[in-house]
């Protein structure tokens, strides 16, 4: 299920696209640009990949193109694509089945190399449907994949809507990549902060202020650990062995 997200700006997209078909459609361009600017702002307020994709799904819904939508992201560990967010749980199962078939047919890999919507047929000859794959990528880095099942009816200003889809997904990919870089840098900083400066000769520990302490004092000061003393077998043989 989607994380909660509420904004009027996806509706601005829908209203603006509907009015683009009218004679005074040019007047709606400022509202479309305003919606895109708020989209970027909404994305960068999110602190998780699911949060980013929840915002993206809401704005993509404003294009009025799709009956079902799903987002896949690349797992950095094994580089597999995992379904991260779908319009709902039942849609997720349907879309995953569709994507599995597209992977076997080679269309998924083809779509990854494109920066535009890739259409594919669905359903039967008597009841044909169409779907869309669109990569989530920045430069040569693939972040994930979007898959949507198109509505039977033609959306208002459909050509403009598909151009906006590419824009929305490109900004989403950039936000996801930024989130990953931020988390990676945070992990690196935490690793550096966890390093303990230890004298190689006397084994004293340096604190953040530059003062050196016996390791026992440092441990008891910075944790709930209590130190007890004993003697290891090597020292016992070296220092306590009868001469």
CA distance 65 to 162: 8
Going by the DSSP 8-state scheme, the letter that residue 47 receives in this structure is: -
Q: Where are the domains of the chain?
A: 9-190, 205-240
What is the Cα Rg of the chain in Å?
Answer: 28
Decide if pLDDT at 232 tops 70: yes
What's the distance, Cα to Cα, between the start and end of the chain in Å? 75
Nearest to 16 by CA among 152, 149, 160, 150: 160
Buried residues in 107-131 as b, exposed as e (16+ CB within 10 A): bbeebbeeeebbebeeeeeeeeeeb
Strands (E), 32-186: 66-74, 81-86, 118-123, 128-138, 141-150
The per-residue pLDDT for 207 is 78
Q: What is the pTM of this model?
A: 0.70
pLDDT in tens, 83-96: 999 999 999 999 99
Decide if pLDDT at 221 tops 50: yes
Percent of the chain past pLDDT 90, that is, above it, reads: 38
The per-residue pLDDT for 104 is 96
Q: In terms of DSSP bridges, do strands 81-86 and 205-206 run parallel, antiparallel, or are they unpaired?
A: unpaired
CA distance 8 to 202: 64
The per-residue pLDDT for 243 is 62
CA distance 221 to 226: 10
The per-residue pLDDT for 94 is 94
The CATH topology of domain 9-190 is Beta-Lactamase (3.30.450)
Which of the residue ranges 27-36, 47-56, 85-94, 173-182 would you say has the lowest mean pLDDT? 27-36
Q: Are 102 and 120 in contact (CB under 8 A)?
A: yes
The per-residue pLDDT for 140 is 74
Nearest to 32 by CA among 57, 14, 6: 14
The per-residue pLDDT for 119 is 95
pLDDT in tens, 39-94: 888 998 899 999 999 999 999 998 889 999 999 999 888 889 999 999 999 999 99
The per-residue pLDDT for 70 is 97
- DSSP H helix total and E strand total for the chain: 8, 7
φ and ψ at 66, to 5 degrees? -120, 145
Mean pLDDT, the chain, integer? 83
Q: Are 35 and 60 in contact (CB under 8 A)?
A: no
Task: List beta partners, residue 68.
Answer: 149
The per-residue pLDDT for 30 is 67
- Calculate the dihedral angle through the C-alpha atoms of 80, 83, 84, 86, rounding to the nearest 10 degrees: 160
């Amino acid at each position: 299920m989607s994380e909660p997200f509420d904004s009027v700006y996806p509706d601005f997209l829908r209203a603006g696209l509907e009015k683009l078909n009218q004679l005074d459609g040019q007047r709606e361009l400022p509202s479309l640009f305003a919606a895109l600017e708020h989209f970027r702002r909404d994305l960068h307020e999110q602190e998780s990949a699911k949060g980013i994709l929840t915002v993206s799904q809401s704005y993509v819904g404003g294009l009025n193109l799709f009956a079902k939508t799903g987002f896949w992201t690349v797992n950095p560990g094994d580089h597999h694509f995992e379904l991260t967010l779908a319009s709902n749980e039942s849609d997720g199962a349907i879309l995953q089945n569709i994507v599995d078939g597209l992977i076997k047919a080679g269309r998924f890999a083809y779509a990854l190399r494109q920066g535009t919507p890739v259409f594919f047929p669905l359903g039967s000859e008597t009841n044909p449907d169409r779907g869309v794959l669109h990569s989530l990528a920045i430069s040569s880095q693939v972040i994930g994949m979007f898959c949507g099942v198109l509505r039977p009816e033609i959306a208002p200003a459909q050509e403009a809507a598909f151009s906006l889809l590419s824009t929305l997904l490109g900004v989403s990919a950039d936000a996801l990549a930024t989130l990953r870089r931020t988390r990676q840098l945070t992990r690196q900083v935490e690793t550096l902060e966890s390093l303990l400066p230890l004298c190689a000769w006397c084994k004293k520990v340096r604190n953040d202020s530059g003062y050196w302490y016996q390791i026992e004092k440092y441990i008891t000061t910075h944790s709930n650990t209590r130190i007890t003393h004993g003697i290891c077998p090597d020292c016992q043989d070296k220092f306590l062995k009868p001469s």
